Structure 1
């Protein structure tokens, strides 16, 4: 039987039930795609590349599914319900499977794209089959307009609720399981409503119930699944983990140290973070004289602010960090506040959880010193914060005699990336002072000071409590051996070319492959 016949529930009721199924299918399908893209960017980095390739594979596989739908004949409703159940179980368990296999499988990308492809093929099969089910009930013009209108509205809903509600409150594993359950419930309900039209309905019903119970159990135990995945990924014990709208935040602890990972990338180790943060903050603060107003962009861990607050001359620190989950965590978690010395609770500190580019564009205040501690420019969304357009805004916000400093990745691993930052700063009129130091957790790391002044001098003493910095250490940090010097001219990083992201990706991928 090719279509739902006149002996089924009333024509209008059946039509709207099937259109509701289209809406849920569209919402669930896009959610699975977003989950895969977000998860890939968490564990593999470079969100632009991951989302681009996953969207491409998913859309292609939907096209494959749509093409294959012509070979499905006989009881189309039965085929549709079975496919709906398969989408529910594969899409529902997709994130759990990917999180578990990432630390174990050498060919993780193959598993990732296989799941995306299979899910896309199954979703691509569903809409053509539904249209064939509805073709005798609705005119062709009405059929196409209604099905695709409902499909696109479902996609819009998914794209809105995913970043605003699902990731922050459910996390990726529960999100995919929740929508997997929706797919299964739709299949089960269609089976119930049209049971007279489906052969072997009892067997399919048992399968639907088994799939649903499996996903309910996984939903309840999702935290345990995530903990297992992260314990497999990280060598130390995971003591805290959460997903914000922007990143996966994980803390690990051992007898020697506490480590922070963002999307799987190490951000600091309590064993040696003082080397990084003293080198980042104190040269620019000392060079700025007696800075009263200080701006920190990035630095949501409060460790740079901790170093700034050592200066009695500082009257106010403005911190701009995109992720409220980070600043909240480092304001309230006792393990972390013991490291940053409760810097975010100091009355001199104001925190703004906003995009730094937009915040700086709207800012009209000037600062005596600016500390820029953004993540490495591994994708275009971060790369924009290293462009000449952004540094023009930094220049406007910096007092005439002040200094800015930018963490600028490793000049040993990524010399072109490092010197690209310097060249970009120079392109907007800054004088630059490049320097580097050794941080055991990261290796050689680079920083660039920028100012309108030409007279940088290494201070004789660092008149605040330090564990690492001194005049001889600073003099050594200014010296670059031959293997850290630029080997060829570098391109200025602009919004319309994002040259730095290309340099960074090429150099770090080459290093990690060695």
Structure 2
């Protein structure tokens, strides 16, 4: 009777391990795909290639399981320990390697292949271990049921709980610990002197994963120090992005997901060029909408117009707007713009917010990140610009940051083509921002653009002369035929990636 009870408990423990290993396996796959999209851009391409490589590797692992002729339990335990060590530390390792290797894709896909092959070994081995405890039909049904439930758990936990609250590196270490815990539990449940070496290895890996979990912030900081080369004042992973602030001498820089957003030395050039060519041309300027721009620097420029009575700022990440409201150093940079009684901050996805918005505005300032991924690219589509047209009052003007017309001319002019496809008139202009190079913007309106009114006092860069010059393009930046960026083709993202890849090598 005791042996029967022990055998039943062991069977259920092994089935439970199927749930754990399936959850862990999918988490490692999601970690690799998310890291690839964060660091390399183009989320659809990165996720597609990572998932395809991972599934291929799982198939290889399943095929290789046929060569395990005996000691399936020992091999299974060793596989769990290896997956825990490699998969658990994969996110940390990839972050550390990103700026230290010439081709980041080699370690990325190398790890995906190794982890996928090891995960592919797990289920066939588990089924062979359980074959004497369950009927074949019952065995397949139960193992696959636990496997699929584990996959569902991972797919829900990863975006809703793990990444927002733990971040990518801690999530990797945590699930590595779950993997090694399965190995330890099985060894403890099935005492066998031949597995003492495996127990020692499992305990060492478990200890290393615990240390890694609690030291994850140091790992992330070490990777960022190597990447940025400056003193890091602030770093935070939010549900939406990685925010990093660096400082060198008097230069304060903001990075989102590793991409420079501004340098305090010349951000005034960018934000004056973004805001004033539009607002100075609006005859009756009362209500202004800002999409993106959670740093409040565009709002600072807008508040230089005393006739403005309200500014609505829509930015996805509450951590960004809170940081630039409460931090003394940062609120000083934006002139405490986000604390102005004229300003209302809305933390929402701009795409969804615009579709539900029923107000019209006298001016709209759009300061989204460059279209380096499909999730951002949707904010540059004809679908989104139709909503923009609806939000513009009859005499209103919008300004849109539109990447560099010198480095990525086809991407730049695609924005104009897309605005025109949405029924708006578009007129491009550019300005030199040393941190970025020659940078481009587009004005959009229902009718012809009037001559600029008097610019507000105290500007450091924009003058009536520089404003006029900004609308002239030399041949290397001149307009050219470009496609319309639509939700179902995202032509802009692919063009942007291809053009910037040539510039960055």
TM-score normalised according to structure 1 size: 0.95
Q: Distance in 2 between matches of 1:343 and 1:30?
A: 44
Q: Distance in 2 between matches of 1:9 and 1:470?
A: 85
Residue 146 of structure 1 corresponds to 142
Question: Secondary structure in 2 aligned to 1:16?
Answer: helix
Mapped pair 1:268 → 2:258: no
Mapped pair 1:478 → 2:471: yes
Shift in CA distance, 195/492, structure 1 to aligned 2, threshold 3 Å: same
Q: Distance in 2 between matches of 1:7 and 1:90?
A: 36
The correspondence for 1:503, drawn from 495, 499, 502, is 495
Question: Secondary structure in 2 aligned to 1:287?
Answer: coil
The correspondence for 2:400, drawn from 387, 396, 406, is 406
* Structure 1 residue 7 displacement after superposition: 5.0
* Structure 1 residue 407 displacement after superposition: 0.6
Residue 344 of structure 1 corresponds to 338
* Structure 1 residue 142 displacement after superposition: 2.0
Contact 1:322 1:354 in 2 (8 A): yes
Q: Distance in 2 between matches of 1:173 and 1:502?
A: 29
Q: Distance in 1 between matches of 2:273 and 2:115?
A: 48
Mapped pair 1:38 → 2:30: no
Q: Distance in 1 between matches of 2:201 and 2:297?
A: 53
Q: Distance in 2 between matches of 1:8 and 1:207?
A: 30
Residue 390 of structure 1 corresponds to 384
Mapped pair 1:430 → 2:430: no
The correspondence for 2:207, drawn from 210, 213, 216, is 213
For residues 276-298 of structure 1, what are the alpha-carbon distances to aligned partners after superposition, in whole Å with 9 as ceiling and x for unaligned? 01100111111122321111111
Mapped pair 1:58 → 2:51: no
For residues 244-295 of structure 1, what are the alpha-carbon distances to aligned partners after superposition, in whole Å with 9 as ceiling and x for unaligned? 1121111110102010111111110011001001100111111122321111
The correspondence for 1:357, drawn from 351, 374, 391, is 351
Q: Distance in 2 between matches of 1:470 and 1:157?
A: 57
More divergent stretch after superposition (368-377 vs 328-337): 328-337
The correspondence for 1:186, drawn from 182, 189, 209, is 182
- Equivalences, count: 504
Residue 3 of structure 1 corresponds to none
Q: Distance in 1 between matches of 2:212 and 2:368?
A: 36
Q: Distance in 2 between matches of 1:491 and 1:47?
A: 21
Within 5 Å, give how 1:76-475 maps onto structure 2.
Answer: 76-196=72-192, 200-459=194-453, 461-475=454-468
Q: Distance in 2 between matches of 1:470 and 1:504?
A: 30
Residue 69 of structure 2 corresponds to 73
Q: Distance in 1 between matches of 2:107 and 2:328?
A: 39
Contact 1:8 1:194 in 2 (8 A): no
Contact 2:42 2:493 in 1 (8 A): no
Structure 2 unaligned spans of 5+: none
Question: Secondary structure in 1 aligned to 2:333?
Answer: helix
* Structure 1 residue 161 displacement after superposition: 1.7
For residues 174-229 of structure 1, what are the alpha-carbon distances to aligned partners after superposition, in whole Å with 9 as ceiling and x for unaligned? 11111111111110010000124xx5211111111111111122222222111111
Contact 2:432 2:438 in 1 (8 A): yes
Q: Distance in 2 between matches of 1:134 and 1:44?
A: 42
More divergent stretch after superposition (390-399 vs 154-163): 154-163
Structure 1 unaligned spans of 5+: 1-5
For residues 67-106 of structure 1, what are the alpha-carbon distances to aligned partners after superposition, in whole Å with 9 as ceiling and x for unaligned? 1111112111111111001100111111111111111111
Q: Distance in 1 between matches of 2:141 and 2:35?
A: 34
Shift in CA distance, 173/8, structure 1 to aligned 2, threshold 3 Å: farther
